[in-house]
């Protein structure tokens, strides 16, 4: 292919990958609706949205990080620590629990930003270190046990109640994704994020504030992880210092399945949401399949199946992009 035409082929292949995840999600929904009696019941739909909203939030933050060509392994530990912090502050006021949990996430994000932009440590190493630190801090604050939240201040409303017939966590996630879409698609910082993903050095030569933009991205990822931790504590009535294990992998998988390139420079907020819902839908269908009694899959086997499903999707997307690059 001529060099001048190559970017258009790559863009086309990425668009096809994003279309593929949306079609796969719709296909799973149709399959579930036809096979299971209560799959499209209001109870299942609302429970699905309520529980998976926190995973959608960390996937959104991860999408921005990966678009810059980075990675954030600390989101799971950050969410676990934030859930403990939120639970500890919830007796004061529901807003105190909410703000404290988000502040805890923001602090981890700011630490990531400092280590990556000022100390010049690779994001993988930096966020791996803060992940371990966040888990340790959460366990220390919780004294290695769950921390009950206050039911008297209305803190549990955040995770357990509905607004206009829709779960509050889902409203929060929807608002976050709308804001994320506006940032990436309509604001100058969105173009800066994409440019940094194409190449930090080139972006710097263009006069872009690379360090400031990267700092904003990692702070946003940490804050969203903190908000996910608040939802975790509010939904389950306790801060969970041992939760969050594997959340970073779910977030990365959601972003990759949504068609975002791990090399950076390209990404979509909407496709990331579709990727998160797709992976969550796989688990939902497996739970319904267990209920039929034809098979009995433990949580371990469900993880194996979801991992295999992810591998198939990623391999297909890679082949699709390779084919379009060579045509």
Q: pTM of the full predicted structure?
A: 0.90
Mean pLDDT of 18-40: 88
Mean pLDDT of 220-247: 94
* CA nearest to 78, candidates 238, 253, 247, 212: 247
pLDDT of residue 324: 53
Q: Is the pLDDT of residue 321 over 70?
A: no
217, 65 in Cβ contact below 8 A? yes
Indicate whether 7 belongs to any domain. no
- Percent above pLDDT 90 for the chain: 62
Q: Give the model confidence (pLDDT) of 13-27 as tens digits.
A: 566 667 778 888 899
57, 176 in Cβ contact below 8 A? yes
Which domain, by its residues, includes 157?
Answer: 42-245+261-267
Indicate whether 156 belongs to any domain. yes
Indicate whether 189 belongs to any domain. yes
* CA nearest to 145, candidates 246, 239, 245, 244: 239
How far apart CA 206 and CA 183 sit, in angstroms, is 20
Indicate whether 314 belongs to any domain. no
* CA nearest to 55, candidates 218, 181, 176, 183: 176
Report the number of distinct structural domains present in the chain.
1
pLDDT of residue 68: 94
pLDDT of residue 320: 61
Indicate whether 303 belongs to any domain. no
Indicate whether 160 belongs to any domain. yes
Mean pLDDT of 216-239: 96
Q: Alpha-carbon Rg of the chain, whole angstroms? A: 20
- Percent above pLDDT 70 for the chain: 87
How far apart CA 113 and CA 147 sit, in angstroms, is 29
Indicate whether 285 belongs to any domain. no
Mean pLDDT of 78-93: 96
Indicate whether 307 belongs to any domain. no
224, 82 in Cβ contact below 8 A? no
Q: Is the pLDDT of residue 195 over 50?
A: yes
Half-sphere exposure of 226 (CA within 13 A, CB side): 23
Q: Is the pLDDT of residue 318 over 80?
A: no
pLDDT of residue 1: 43
């Amino acid at each position: 292919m001529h060099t001048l035409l190559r970017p258009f082929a790559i863009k086309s292949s990425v668009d096809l990958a994003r279309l593929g995840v949306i079609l796969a999600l719709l296909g799973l929904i149709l399959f579930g609706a036809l096979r299971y009696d209560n799959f499209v019941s209001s109870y299942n739909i609302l429970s699905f949205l309520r529980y998976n909203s926190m995973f959608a939030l960390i996937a959104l933050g991860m999408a921005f990080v990966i678009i810059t060509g980075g990675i954030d392994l600390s989101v799971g530990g950050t969410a676990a620590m934030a859930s403990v912090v939120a639970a500890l502050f919830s007796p004061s006021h529901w807003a105190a629990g909410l703000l404290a949990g988000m502040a805890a996430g923001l602090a981890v994000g700011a630490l990531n930003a400092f280590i990556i932009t000022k100390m010049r440590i690779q994001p993988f190493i930096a966020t791996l270190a803060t992940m371990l630190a966040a888990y340790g801090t959460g366990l220390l604050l919780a004294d290695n046990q769950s921390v009950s939240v206050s039911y008297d201040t209305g803190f549990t409303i955040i995770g357990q109640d509905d607004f206009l017939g829709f779960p509050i966590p889902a409203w929060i996630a929807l608002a976050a994704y709308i804001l994320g879409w506006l940032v990436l698609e309509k604001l100058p910082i969105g173009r800066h994020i994409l440019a940094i993903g194409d190449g930090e050095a080139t972006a710097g030569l263009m006069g872009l504030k690379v360090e400031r933009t990267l700092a904003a991205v990692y702070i946003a990822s940490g804050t969203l992880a903190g908000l996910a931790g608040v939802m975790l504590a509010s939904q389950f009535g306790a801060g969970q210092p041992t939760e969050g294990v594997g959340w970073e992998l779910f977030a990365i998988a959601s972003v990759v399945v949504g068609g975002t390139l791990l090399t950076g420079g390209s990404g979509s907020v909407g496709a990331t949401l579709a990727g998160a819902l797709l992976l969550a839908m796989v688990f939902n269908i497996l739970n319904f399949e267990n209920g039929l009694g034809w098979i009995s899959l433990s949580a371990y086997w469900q993880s194996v199946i979801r991992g295999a499903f992810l591998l198939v999707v990623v391999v297909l997307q890679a082949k699709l992009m390779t084919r379009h690059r060579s045509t």
